[in-house]
Amino acid sequence: MSDPVEMNISSDMDVVRARQEGRSKALLIGFSVSEATLIATAISELARNIVSYAGEGVVALQAVQTGSRSGLVIVAADKGPGIANVSLALRDGYSSSGGLGLGLPGVRRLMDEFDLVSAPGRGTTVTVKKWRPRM
Amino acid sequence: MEVPILKQGPFLIATIQAALSDADLEQLRTALVNQAVRYRSLGVIVDVTAMDVMDSFASRMLLTISRMIRLRGADTVIVGIQPDVAFAMVQLGLTLEDIPTALDLEEGLAYLQQRCRNSS
């Protein structure tokens, strides 16, 4: 089990760094290249939301093991303006159907578990998990 | 990381060689459109073989490039999207809408040449 990684996110270069770190960590703990790409893409979206909406925040990566399952937990947290309407943010609205365009429904599809905690003025924390397929 | 743009006859070829930040992608858009105007290019190829991740920002930027080039009366082809990247894009719900894509540079060039022949 590898050590947790925590990265400060405040620029578009940090977004690139975070997703590269996520990819290498995913590969390190045994995910396939294809799964690592899904994870890197999800991190890219989450980290960009931090830069775009909060200015700065943190992305943390942690390998997890529960029973026979192992996987990766990603926490993207900021102290930005927060999301007033969480259900609207989770509505699929990439084109124009009324979502907030944060890419969160897409991130939810990329990962196995998804949790969003946010309130206006209180920042946003998104926690996502990807489990390795059982052998 | 600046993306090199090669002029090949009436076409421009931009080959992405490493992971790009948002600022790099914006720089690519500006450079491609400027050069397409300067050289009166008939077509543009963006080779994304080396891209590790195609997220919503990168897709939107490729769409923007394609639309700007279209307004100049030229075509854009995206080549070399890796299978894993394509899989992640579909899961994320991203499409490149009507931008033509091709397997690799060779196929992309063949596509543009075909388009030029048809319109002349």
Q: How far apart are CA A22 and CA B103, in angstroms?
A: 27
How far off is chain A from B8, nearest CA to CA, in Å? 31
Does residue A46 contact residue A79 with C-beta atoms inside 8 Å? no
CB distance B21–A12 less than 8 Å?
Answer: yes
Q: What's the pLDDT tens digit per position in B79-113? A: 999 999 999 999 988 888 889 999 999 999 999 99
Q: How far apart are CA A75 and CA A92, in angstroms?
A: 21
Q: What's the pLDDT tens digit per position in A14-73? A: 999 999 999 999 999 999 999 999 999 999 999 999 999 999 999 999 999 988 899 999
Q: Residue A56: which domain range?
A: 5-131
Domains of chain B plus CATH, in order, are 5-119 (3.30.750.24)
Residues of A with CB under 8 A from a CB of B: 12-13, 15-16, 19-20, 23, 33-34, 37-38, 40-41, 44-45, 48, 92, 94, 103, 105-107, 109-110
What domain count does chain A have?
1
List chain B residues with CB under 8 Å of A20: 19, 52
Where residue A118 sits, what CATH number does that domain have?
A: 3.30.565.10
Computed over every residue of chain B, the mean pLDDT equals: 93
The predicted complex's ipTM stands at: 0.91
Helix B83-92 to helix A33-49 angle (10° resolution) is 50
How far off is chain B from A65, nearest CA to CA, in Å? 24
